[in-house]
Amino acid sequence: MAERRDTPWWERGVIYQIYPRSFQDSNGDGIGDLAGVIARLDYVAQLGVDAIWLSPIFPSPMADFGYDVADYCGIEPLFGDLATFDRLISEIHARGLKLLLDFVPNHSSDQHPWFIESRSSRDNPKRDWYIWRDAGADGGPPNNWISDFGGSSWEWDEATGQYYLHAFLKEQPDLNWRNPELRAAMSDVLRFWLDRGVDGFRIDVIWHMVKHEAFPDNPLNPAWTPEVRERDKLIQLHSTDQPEAHTISAEMRRLADSYGDRVLVGEIFLPNDRHAKWYGTPEQPQVHLPFNFQLIENPWDAASLRQIIADYEGSLPAFGWPNWVIGSHDAPRIAARIGEAQARVAAMLLLTLRGTPTLYQGDELGIGEVTIPPERMRDPQHLREPERGIGRDRSRTPMPWNDAPFAGFSTAEPWLPLNDDWRARNVAAQSADEHSMLRFYQKLLALRRSSPALTIGSFTLTDAEDEVLSYIRQAGDETLLIVLNLSSQARGFATPHGYGLGDTIASTLAKSDATTGTVAADEGVIFRLTGKH
């Protein structure tokens, strides 16, 4: 893939996800808030990222911890108020950072005034802002659709004698994007925040937004086995990724573009060919960055990664800019999944691949598995399907800042437990240790920022031994070779034909002997290459 020039900030930059309940509490209620985020902005700036994506901060009954929005144009009192938000955005901009909010268009809270009106009677003007259907022929739900959190996607409403659709919890009724008034109201929501200066949005489950007009049953998934989530019993053929959703995504893009340099990041889980369609076309672009979760979803071995990277790069439209994610508030922690040594290799991969990286809070400390006693588990997904082991609480534990009580996160017991090793694994301790994960991330982020090869350079996979992933990044007269050993044994590697091996610029290890042509167990290295410009 070729080198790019004249790139916008969101192509060069790194996005850092903040989960506001768990970043910093400023008022002693055990729950993070906006004033807390403000207090920690210097940390974010010093980390060396470019933009903050803040998970939802809007008024919410918190059935799904903010992804159930009761007012799209307000701030949840637990988190602060609009005046604090305005202060947050100006403090973010004062540090040269950008702010992306989390827009949740597929569903609102059942406590949103729109839904309260909608369910009040069949002839209420807002009835059609949500998706209401009569019972099926057998008196049960209108079709077989299954909620992402298990159980039917339909909830019976006794008062008005119809079912409403909810792709997630019953407390999260799906909005009807086929209704022009709802569409206009949602455009007003985007304008409200863009007018306040936000630099863009991460758009929650954007591919869910529109459903097949006739609501046919979804086909059975022949690959489903009982250990897998109930949702996956069916293929979500008719309940997601409808052509009309692409039209809406193009409308959102036009709106964002009318404000200048803004970015839309869409949450999308689809195979490459359908995923790539969310970029739209040069004439009718859609989201700038359809989130790419393949590093999270696939096995951690060199052969799989090579394949994923090559297939993804190959699927992008010519104008489409790639992006990569290794952690989020929904996924298991990367260090829990692959161990701390490989988590360093993952950090190097994330920050040297071609495309915008998204880094999730706490992964820069290498937080791994966290023990959460059953009585403290809060995630509704886990509580509905506890036997599956898919709970998200373990990725949502508070940021450990130092070894003071409650890790400096709060003066009270936090809403979720801290990581077990917080007394040693915290920001203060890692800042003081030059070989810590945090310092490693800072170093890689600084390197990336200063390197055209890493930010906008071309990308070429190179041949390597089993369990080694290697590639070249190149821009102008800067050529870098990245060699990642995914195994726990030393491995040899060859300098690509026509080049000479230059300095080691970074290693995942404190001390590297890799210029000898061998990468140590679990080692990742960035070399400068000489010759052949």
Which positions lie near ligand NOJ, rule CB under 6 A? 64, 67, 104, 168, 204-205, 267, 329-330
What is the closest distance, in whole angstroms, from the C-beta atom of residue 422 to ligand NOJ in the complex? 24
Sign of the four-CA dihedral 277, 281, 285, 289:
positive
Helix (H, G, I), strand (E, B) or coil at 320: coil
Spot the catalytic one: 25, 76, 171, 267.
267
Q: Are 479 and 471 in contact (CB under 8 A)?
A: no
**Candidate list 64, 204, 241, 393, residue with the active-site label:** 204
Residue with tokens 């969101």: 10
Output 211 or 425, the one with its CB closest to ligand NOJ: 211
Chain centroid offset of residue 509 CA: 27
Indicate the residue whose CB is closest to ligand NOJ: 67
Q: What is the smallest separation between the CB atom of 64 and ligand NOJ, expressed in angstroms?
A: 5
Which CB atom, from 301 or from 330, has the smaller least distance to ligand NOJ?
330
Nearest approach in angstroms of CB 107 to ligand NOJ is 7
**CB of 204 or CB of 241, closer to ligand NOJ:** 204
Smallest distance, ligand NOJ to C-beta of residue 399, A: 18
Instruction: Please identify, using beta-carbon distances, which residue of 38 and 295 lies nearer to ligand NOJ.
Output: 295
Q: Which is nearer to ligand NOJ, 53 or 129 (CB)?
A: 53
Are the CB atoms for 154 and 164 separated by under 8 Å?
yes
Q: Quick check: is 174 catalytic?
A: no
Q: Which helix (H) or strand (E) holds 450?
A: helix 437-450
179 vs 162: CA distance, rounded Å: 18
3-state class percentages of the chain: helix first, strand second, coil last, to nearest 5: 30, 15, 50
Q: How many Å from the N-terminal Cα to the C-terminal Cα in the chain?
A: 16
387 is catalytic: no
**Closest approach of Cβ 257 to ligand NOJ, in Å?**
25
Distances (CA, A) of 191 to 63, 103, 248, 255, 356: 26, 12, 15, 8, 25
Give residue for tokens 């491995």.
491
Specify the amino acid at residue 308. Answer: I
Question: Residue 521 Cβ, how far from ligand NOJ at the closest point, in Å?
Answer: 35
Nearer to ligand NOJ, 203 or 345 (CB): 203
Phi, psi of 352 (to 5 degrees): -120, -5
19's tokens: 């989960």
Q: Which residues are catalytic?
A: 204, 267
